[in-house]
């Protein structure tokens, strides 16, 4: 194993006008956080701020497309 990748939901306080986007499937107001950890248990990448209703594949695509984003070794 070179790296582990996972996402989680963190509680978020957002204004009323955008709360709908941040509503998770369990009903809470959350933001999505994607993290990659290398084999020696050091964090190598974090992407936070996506709304709780965003799908994991959208967040991963965003992380891979950023100029200084997540890189997958060949």
Residue 71 has pLDDT above 90, yes or no: no
Burial class (CB in 10 A: 0-12, 13-18, 19+), 26: exposed
Number of Cβ within a 10 Å radius of residue 31: 20
Q: How confident is the model at residue 47 (pLDDT cuts 50, 70, 90)?
A: very high
Please check the confidence at residue 8 and state whether its pLDDT lies above 90.
no
**Higher pLDDT among residues 38 and 62, named by residue:** 62
Q: What's the whole-model pTM score?
A: 0.77
pLDDT above 70 (res 1): no
What CA–CA distance (Å, rounded) separates 46 from 15? 24
**Sheet strand arrangement including 3-11:** 3-11, 30-38, 43-51
Quick one: pLDDT at residue 21?
85
- Cα–Cα distances in Å, from 25 out to 5, 42, 71? 21, 30, 29
Q: Average pLDDT over the chain, rounded to whole?
A: 87
């Amino acid at each position: 194993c070179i790296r582990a990748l996972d996402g989680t939901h963190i509680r978020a306080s957002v204004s009323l006008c955008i709360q709908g986007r941040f509503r998770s499937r369990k009903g809470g107001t959350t933001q999505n956080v994607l993290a990659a950890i290398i084999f020696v248990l050091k964090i190598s990448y974090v992407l936070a701020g996506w709304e709780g209703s965003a799908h994991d594949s959208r967040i991963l695509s965003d992380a891979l497309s950023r100029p200084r984003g997540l890189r997958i070794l060949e």
